[in-house]
Amino acid sequence: MKLKSNKGLTLVEVLIAVVVSSIVMAAMFFTYDIFQKSYKGIVDRSVISQNSRNAISIMIRDMRMAGYKDFNQTDPLPTPTIIHTNNNNAPDEIQIIYDENKNDRVKIAYKLDKENPATDKYYFLAKARYVWKGGWTNSTSQGGYPFEKVADYFEDMQFALKDSAGNTTTQSNNIKFIEIYTIMKTPNEIHKQPLAQRFISDNRTILKTDKYLREDFFVSVYPRNIIKN
């Protein structure tokens, strides 16, 4: 009678199997990590692009209305109808005045802000609405509202008021168009190594060296109610 062999794996065979399995697992993890980082980069790039488009679209709608006076409004608009605050070495601010209808005269304000300046890594775009009730008020009971978040992931925002010759002007009746410059910053680090980045935002130069991805956006807006033919 022939006995059945009970021979198992040797120690060397077990060690070889463990090593091969470890290599396969490490390769799978490495591939997954590369894919995950690549996917995160694509998502973050899409996020800042979408945020910039949405924010600029909202600002364009108000800027195109700057200086509009309702036909049934008897009181003249205050001047200037575009108030640009040029903050040196900091994001700009802008206010736009126009009539929404015969009863509502509004001043829309935009600025960049941080919820916690000490720890936040980027700005958010904030918008406020003031209504004229013998004076400007942003009281919600009067139809206004204080500054509230519109979009995230801003590094900088600059405005330039230009006349018909393309020169900077501060006079509302001379404004031909408004230039908007924005720099957006990804929520997460994207680059493997710190990367030196240089951006020119109107008259401000931004220099950064880190692992975040940044993109700049630019658009010209033509206010349809204050252009002089």
For residues 183 and 56, give the distance between their C-alpha atoms in angstroms, rounded to a whole number.
12
Q: How confident is the model at residue 229 (pLDDT cuts 50, 70, 90)?
A: very low
Dist. CA 116–CA 3, nearest whole Å: 78
pLDDT confidence tier of residue 7, bands split at 50, 70 and 90 = low
What pLDDT digit, counting tens, does each position of 119-172 carry?
Answer: 998 999 999 999 999 999 999 999 999 999 999 999 999 999 999 899 998 877
Per-residue pLDDT tens digits for 178-218: 999 999 999 998 888 999 999 988 888 889 999 999 999 99
Task: Tell me the sheet residues that pair with 222.
Answer: none
Instruction: Give me the pLDDT at residue 5, please.
Output: 57
pLDDT band of 34, cuts 50, 70, 90: low
Domain boundaries along the sequence of the chain: 41-221
Contacts 24+ apart (CB under 8 A), 97-103: 97/66, 97/67, 98/62, 98/65, 98/66, 98/67, 98/68, 98/69, 98/225, 99/68, 99/69, 99/70, 99/73, 100/70, 101/70, 102/70, 102/71, 102/72, 102/73
Lowest mean pLDDT among 14-28, 45-59, 118-132, 157-171: 14-28
Question: What pTM did the predictor assign?
Answer: 0.81
Of 163, 190, 193, nearest in space to 178 by CA = 163
Comparison of pLDDT for 37 and 22, the residue scoring more: 22
What confidence score (pLDDT) does residue 172 get? 73
Is residue 93 a contact partner of residue 85, using CB atoms and an 8 Å limit? yes
| Angstrom distances, CA of residue 15 to CA of 8, 64, 107 | 14, 73, 75
DSSP tag of 140: G
Cis peptide before 80 (omega within 30 of 0): yes
Q: Assign 52 to helix, strand or coil.
A: helix
Helix (H) or strand (E) holding 12: helix 11-65
